[in-house]
Amino acid sequence: MRPLLLGLLLALTTLWTPALARAQACCAGVSAITPGRLEPHEKVLVGLQLRAAHHYGRFDSKAHYRDLPEGSSEFDMEQDLLGAVRWLRRGQTSLQLPVLQSWRSARGTGAEFGSGLGDLSVGARYDLVLNREYRAVPGLALLAGVTLPTGRAAEDAEQPLLSDATGTGATQLSLGLSLERSLGEVLVSLTGVGAKRLPRQVQGLESELAMHYLLQLGVAYGVTRSAAIAALLAYSFEGDASVAGRAARDSGRRQLRASLAYSTPLVQHWRLQAALSAEPPLTGLGQNQSASLGGTLGVLWGWY
């Protein structure tokens, strides 16, 4: 029994001691999956991200997919100012400030253009266990955030097609967990977030959105030591909203988004982010949300 016990003890010690090897895909994969996140060697990050999307359909309240009516169209643009700073070896705080524009048209209404500041988001991440810190344990991070209603809510919009609505109108508090593990040149990430939107007054009635949940799976592959490509699936869902204490039937939302992203360095301290994303136009995958095809391009500067 003594050799067996010694062998088990040695195996457990090997599994739970810190791993010295770091996968090459780790840093580049992190950037491809989460553009606004600091890489392990960075202390400060600032950047600008541009997004454009063409909407070709919509999911109704019963989750049926429908093409946009003849004579209708929608094209959205977004510019995000990103920033992040590391305040502990394992902790970082991020900020995202969006500016939105929307061009919409409908038969009988005509075309309109609206724009404005979106909702400001501030987030924090603390890595309880770093990726590859232990051979038998994946990286584990605690996520927290707050979104402030700095955008224009739908009830305050002035355009008939609500093209100038740029925010939810409610303060949002979120909490989540993130798991990640690098396996050679591959980085696998799984993130889950739950968000609570605080009640607000809408035309004299108390209105409250239901809890919002987001699940995201990302798989990144290190093309080179500092560049990576990633495939992502994100599923978000929430229940029916309530108005004056009563549930608004069939007002819930859900959406599945598939993305393909790429991250590569440009010059010292600078890197390029690019992504394509779409919501599959299949009945049952969405509810009270639009289906679109979009692209994102971002430039970020990180200081070591």
7 located within any domain: no
Q: What's the predicted TM-score (pTM) here?
A: 0.87
82 located within any domain: yes
- Measure the CA–CA gap between 6 and 25, rounded to whole angstroms: 35
The answer on pLDDT for 20 being more than 80 is no
* Cα–Cα separations (whole angstroms), residue 18 to 13, 92, 185, 186: 10, 22, 19, 20
**Tens digit of each residue's pLDDT (9 = 90 or more) over 214-269:** 999 999 999 988 899 999 999 999 999 999 989 999 999 999 999 999 999 998 88
196 located within any domain: yes
- Angle, CA of 126, 132 and 133, to the nearest 5°: 65
Per-residue confidence at 135, pLDDT binned at 50, 70, 90?
confident
The answer on pLDDT for 153 being more than 70 is yes
51 located within any domain: yes
119 located within any domain: yes
Tell me the CB-side half-sphere exposure of residue 295, using CA atoms within 13 A. Answer: 2
The arithmetic mean of pLDDT across residues 278-304, rounded, is 95
Range with lowest mean pLDDT among 7-21, 36-50, 101-115: 7-21
86 located within any domain: yes
Mean pLDDT over the full length of the chain: 90
Per-residue confidence at 203, pLDDT binned at 50, 70, 90?
confident
Q: What is the distance in angstroms between the CA of the first residue and the CA of the last residue of the chain?
A: 52
Instruction: List all residues 6 or more positions away from 304 whose beta carbon is below 8 Å from its beta carbon.
Output: 41, 42, 43, 269
1 located within any domain: no
The answer on pLDDT for 142 being more than 50 is yes
The answer on pLDDT for 156 being more than 50 is yes
Range of the domain at 246: 21-303
- Measure the CA–CA gap between 287 and 203, rounded to whole angstroms: 25
3-state secondary structure string across the chain? CHHHHHHHHHHHHHHHCECCCCCCHHHHHHHHHCCCCCCCCCCEEEEEEEEEEEEEEEECCCCCEEECCCCCEEEEEEEEEEEEEECCCCEEEEEEEEEEEEEEEECCCEEEEEEEECCEEEEEEEEEECCCCECCECEEEEEEEEEECCCCCHHHCCCCCCCCCCCCCCCEEEEEEEEEEEECCEEEEEEEEEEEECCEEECCEEEECCCEEEEEEEEEEECCCCCEEEEEEEEEEECCCEECCEECCCCCEEEEEEEEEEEEECCCCEEEEEEEEECCCCCCCCECCEEEEEEEEEEEEEEC
pLDDT at 267: 86
Per-residue confidence at 26, pLDDT binned at 50, 70, 90?
low
> What CATH number is associated with residue 175?
2.40.128.130
Q: Is residue 165 within 8 Å of residue 153, measured between CB atoms?
A: yes
Task: Please state the domain count of the chain.
Answer: 1
The answer on pLDDT for 6 being more than 80 is no
81 located within any domain: yes
